[in-house]
């Protein structure tokens, strides 16, 4: 063979290898997001056009073929070992259960079968890992990702909209629009170009061990952080030895310290540098958060401060606001939310399983649908709102909410009722119930009020609109002396403050009009301790608003020795 022929032969082999994608294959192993989960059929019945078979579609985003060996697919906690899968450049493969292979074959050219495949209808986490156990793609879908409610009932797949955002959540997924209900093995019917400029801000922190601070971010980040220790610094200074990504979501970074933080110091963490997302965008970031050593919660360290049990427009968007009234840092991974029951909840779930440090005098709002809460209410600090998929669906009319520690020991408890709302509201739909004062007993019904109309009927994450009256040192006071019972958030009620020198007292309180006729009986032989609070919201005994004017509030009290005291204070009700 002469040199010319040999050269031609070598060139032919070279171009053949390029065409088949074999050249450089050893250096082209799929990395993160190269192979993605692009379609999910979780509830195939009732059938639309496809067989009633669950399936998961994988898509090769690379411009050359790949061969997957010893890869795994994890569905929730169930791990499925995948068979060898050849994938063409930009190709698709559909994973189904073996029993549906023959029935499904006419709808897809490239099928891979497993002995069984069970995808949870309501939602599930799906994790694709390579032969090294590295996470290639992660999706945690929910039934609510179908924006058209009727398609949540079954027969329609969820499709990824823009494969350039493989790490995105609900906004990059929706129901298939294909007449058959899905597009297994071919390009998605709803594919389009999306844009996301959400900044990877710090949303919360938690200590995972004595040397590791986990920093949760508002979106998934990508990059090599092995040499990025300077991305964070602390005040007071702690030596940072490294930063690691946190799989499978990669929306958190672990900051590792050389020595444990001092438990008596509250630190500030500063983020300063560039972070990149999975869409290839880079953001110069400046952000900060407080952290420290948390302690297990004790009774009344945390209190229930605001609840929404009757969301707007049928949205499943209840929320629960918690306030830290202690002087200590409490991590919400050590707190459970319970519902129902009396002394113990009928069921209880961890508040924030990934961890979230709540500092003294701070609020945290646990939302069933965080995006809906952000849309419907004024939220002065979005970082205070936490998505909580396991938050109980609170009954509208009445119920019991518990806060407990991990051992179900009570931290706080509220038995609520719609009757605790402002009685003149036409509806409580979309109206939160707010606590008036943080230092008064949770179960004191006079310490709760409907959120003010002027505040949008809810104040998630910040000071309540219906705050209690300022402290008054008088032994008997009515504050304010002029009030307007219109639920506008400004002096909507008069609070009657009673203080006694002894621990046990009996009390009668009656409101009289200017002609001396009784209008409202607020207390009738009520047993009180050394301090008691009552509230008059301008209503008479029949539940009607009393006319505007001047009223006298009379309190009659007697102690265990039957020593009686009679006192009066004036109050004016007006309508603005």
Q: Whole-angstrom Cα distance, residue 373 to residue 55? A: 33
Question: What is the β-pairing status of strands 564-573 and 482-483?
Answer: parallel
- Pull the structure tokens for residue 403: 């806060």
pLDDT at 299 (0 to 100): 96
Residue 84's closest CA among 74, 70, 103? 70
Query: What is this structure's pTM?
Result: 0.78
DSSP class per residue in 338-375: EESSSSS-SEEEES-TT--EE-TT-EEEEESSHHHHHH
Residue 147's closest CA among 165, 171, 167? 171
Q: Identify whether the C-beta of residue 57 lies closer than 8 Å to the C-beta of residue 92.
A: yes
pLDDT at 474 (0 to 100): 54
Residue 316 backbone class (left: φ over 0; alpha: ψ -120 to 50; beta: rest): beta
Condensed to tens digits (0 to 9), the pLDDT of residues 242-294 reads: 999 999 999 999 999 999 999 999 999 999 999 999 988 999 999 999 999 99
pLDDT at 14 (0 to 100): 46
Residue 310's closest CA among 364, 402, 376? 376
Instruction: Provide the 8-state DSSP code for 10.
Output: H
Q: What is the mean pLDDT for each group of 10 consecutive residues in the chain (576 residues)? A: 49 46 55 97 96 97 95 96 96 96 93 95 96 96 94 97 94 97 97 92 96 96 88 96 95 97 96 92 94 96 96 86 97 96 92 96 95 90 92 92 96 95 86 91 89 84 73 71 84 86 84 89 85 88 91 87 83 82
Q: Which residues contact 375 (CB under 8 A, 6 or more apart)?
A: none
Q: Whole-angstrom Cα distance, residue 221 to residue 252? A: 8
Q: Which residues of 45-54 are buried (b: 16+ CB within 10 A; e: fewer)?
A: eeebebbebb
Q: Whole-angstrom Cα distance, residue 2 to residue 341? A: 91
Condensed to tens digits (0 to 9), the pLDDT of residues 51-93 reads: 999 999 999 999 999 999 999 999 999 999 999 999 999 999 9
Q: Whole-angstrom Cα distance, residue 263 to residue 283? A: 33
pLDDT at 1 (0 to 100): 52
SS3 string, 428-474, reads CCCCCEEECCCCCCCCCHHHEEECCHHHCCCCCCCCCCCCCCCCCCC
Domains and CATH numbers, the chain: 1-26 (no CATH), 31-175 (2.60.40.1260), 202-291 (2.60.40.1220), 297-467 (2.60.40.1260), 469-576 (2.60.40.4070)
Q: Which residues contact 116 (CB under 8 A, 6 or more apart)?
A: 97, 98
Residue 60's H or E segment, with its range, is: strand 55-60
């Amino acid at each position: 063979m002469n040199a010319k022929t040999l050269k031609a032969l070598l060139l032919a082999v070279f171009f053949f290898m390029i065409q088949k994608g074999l050249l450089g294959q050893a250096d082209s192993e799929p990395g993160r997001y190269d192979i993605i989960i692009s379609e999910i059929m979780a509830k195939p019945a009732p059938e639309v056009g496809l067989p009633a078979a669950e399936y998961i579609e994988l898509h090769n985003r690379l411009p050359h073929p790949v061969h997957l060996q010893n890869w795994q697919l994890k569905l929730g906690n169930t791990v499925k070992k995948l068979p060898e899968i050849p994938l063409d450049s930009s190709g698709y493969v559909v994973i189904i259960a073996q029993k549906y292979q023959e029935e499904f074959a006419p709808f897809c050219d490239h099928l891979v079968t497993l002995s069984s495949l069970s995808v949870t209808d309501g939602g599930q986490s799906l994790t694709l890992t390579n032969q090294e156990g590295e996470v290639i793609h992660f999706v945690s879908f929910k039934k609510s990702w179908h924006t058209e409610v009727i398609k949540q009932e079954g027969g329609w797949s969820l499709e990824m909209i823009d494969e350039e955002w493989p790490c995105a959540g609900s906004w990059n997924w929706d129901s298939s629009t294909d007449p058959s209900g899905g597009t297994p093995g071919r390009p998605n019917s709803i594919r389009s170009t999306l844009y996301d400029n959400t900044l990877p801000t710090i949303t919360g922190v938690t200590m995972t061990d004595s040397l590791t601070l986990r920093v949760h971010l508002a979106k998934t980040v990508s990059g090599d952080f092995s040499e990025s220790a300077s991305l964070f610094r602390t005040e007071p200074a702690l030596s940072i030895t490294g930063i690691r990504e946190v799989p499978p979501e990669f929306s958190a970074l672990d900051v590792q310290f050389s020595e444990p933080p001092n438990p008596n110091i509250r630190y500030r963490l500063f983020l300063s540098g560039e972070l990149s997302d999975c869409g290839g965008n880079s953001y110069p970031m400046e952000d900060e958060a407080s952290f420290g050593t948390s302690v297990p919660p004790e009774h009344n360290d945390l209190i229930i401060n605001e609840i929404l049990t009757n969301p707007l427009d049928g949205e499943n968007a209840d929320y629960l606001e918690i306030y830290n009234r202690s002087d200590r840092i409490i991590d919400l991974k050590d707190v459970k939310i319970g519902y129902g029951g009396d002394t113990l909840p009928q069921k209880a779930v961890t508040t924030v399983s990934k961890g979230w440090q709540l500092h003294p005098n701070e609020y945290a709002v646990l939302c069933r649908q965080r995006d809906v809460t952000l849309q419907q209410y004024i939220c002065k600090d979005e970082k205070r709102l936490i998505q909580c998929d396991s938050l109980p669906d609170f009954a509208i009319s009445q119920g019991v909410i518990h806060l407990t520690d991990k051992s179900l020991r009570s931290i706080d408890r509220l038995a609520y009722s719609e009757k605790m709302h402002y009685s003149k509201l036409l509806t409580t739909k979309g109206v939160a119930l707010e606590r008036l004062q943080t230092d008064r007993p949770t179960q004191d019904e006079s310490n709760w009020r409907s959120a003010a109309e002027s505040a949008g009927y809810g104040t998630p994450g910040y000071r309540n609109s219906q705050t209690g009256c300022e402290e008054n040192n008088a032994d008997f006071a009515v504050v304010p002396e002029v009030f307007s019972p219109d639920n506008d958030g400004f002096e909507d009620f008069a609070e009657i403050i009673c203080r006694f020198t002894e621990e046990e007292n009996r009390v009668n309180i009656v409101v009289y009009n200017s002609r001396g006729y009784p209008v409202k009986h607020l207390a009738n032989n009520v047993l009180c301790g050394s301090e008691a609070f009552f509230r008059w919201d301008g209503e008479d005994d029949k539940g009607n608003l009393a006319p505007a004017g001047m009223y006298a509030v009379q309190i009659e009290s007697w102690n265990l020795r039957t020593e009686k005291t009679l006192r009066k204070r004036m109050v004016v009700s007006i309508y603005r």
